[in-house]
Amino acid sequence: MAGEQISLFNFEQSLEQGNQALGHSLGQTAQSINISNSPATTTVYANLDDLKTEAIACQKCNLAYTRKNVVIERGNRQALIMIIGEAPGESEDETGLPFVGRSGQLLDKILASVQFDPTQDVYICNINKCRPPDNRVPTEAEVTACKPYLLEQIRLVDPKIILLTGATAVKAITGDKRGITKIRGEWSQWQGRWVMPIFHPAYLLRNASREEGSPKWFMWQDIKAVREKYLEIKHEIENAEDF
């Protein structure tokens, strides 16, 4: 119990630090999209390096003309957990790596609060590989153009758990149109994998309260549930290997 209290304190402290640093840069205009059933031609890649090579040269939507870098991945390609975000922001566009700005730094601290190593225990990517201008929500056409890369990333990494950060990621993968506050923390099965919608770290940065029932409180409950599911799956894999 004491260990959990310490972890919760560290988790809340990380959220507060990120909230203070946020400023006004995360303002975005949301728009409704429904792309889960959109037709898309998916190229089958031999490996993630081949996918990355093609994605870097991609010209399938207008974001190709405004991006600085194509943002593909970070983390462990053999991880049991995949985290899927919406699209790169300014920091990600500069570095070519997903979730490295303020939201990404907070995500790493959230993972660390339950003993996940962001470099070893998770694989992180986005629906869209290029930054939309002014950090707006990707259009339906942009998501449709980029989704085949994501589907191949899922196939090649073969995660057992997928965390969908925010409503846009949920709609893109599962087609669920409900608001994130209604579905966060719910486990479901998608193509034989455990899927959980969670709050996007940017949303946590915009909500200061730590009271029971607040987004930050719910995030703490959700990430603990993810840890439990991860240990359960890992135990099953280890037992299977013993036979």
- Average pLDDT, stretch 2-6? 48
Summary mean pLDDT of the chain: 88
Residue with the larger pLDDT of the pair 18 and 214: 214
Count how many domains the chain has.
1
For residue 23, the model assigns a pLDDT of: 40
* Contacts of 116 by beta carbon, 8 Å cutoff, 6+ apart: 81, 122, 227, 230
241 band by pLDDT with thresholds 50, 70 and 90: confident
Task: Check whether 131 has a pLDDT greater than 90.
Answer: yes
CATH number at residue 154: 3.40.470.10
What is the pLDDT averaged over residues 223-236?
98
pLDDT beyond 60 at 32: no
Whether the pLDDT of residue 34 is over 90: the answer is no
Domain extent, residue 122, equals 2-242
Q: What is the pTM of this model?
A: 0.85
Percent of the chain clearing pLDDT 70 (strictly above): 83
Please give the residue that has the higher pLDDT: either 240 or 119.
119
* H helix and E strand count, the chain: 9, 6
Distance (Å, rounded) from C-alpha 209 to C-alpha 220?
Answer: 13
Q: Is the pLDDT of residue 22 over 50?
A: no
Please state, as a whole number, how many other Cβ atoms lie within 10 Å of the Cβ of residue 125: 22
Alpha-helical (H) ranges within 96-166 are: 102-112, 140-157
pLDDT-derived band at 12, boundaries 50, 70, 90:
low
Cβ-proximal residues to 117 (8 Å cutoff; 6+ apart), any chain: 111
For residue 99, give the DSSP letter. Answer: S
SS3 89: coil
Task: Give per-residue pLDDT as tens, 175-222.
Answer: 999 999 999 999 999 999 999 999 999 999 999 899 999 999 999 999
Q: Report the C-alpha gap between 40 and 196 in whole angstroms.
A: 24
Is the pLDDT score of 159 beyond 70?
Answer: yes
5 has a pLDDT exceeding 90: no
Whether the CB-CB separation of 124 and 165 falls below 8 Å is answered with no
User: What pLDDT is stored for residue 242 in this prediction?
Assistant: 78
Phi then psi for 34, rounded to 5 degrees?
Answer: -140, 95
Residue 86 CB contacts under 8 Å (≥ 6 apart), including other chains: 126, 127, 128, 137, 138, 165, 166, 168, 169, 200
Tell me the average pLDDT across 220-229. Answer: 99
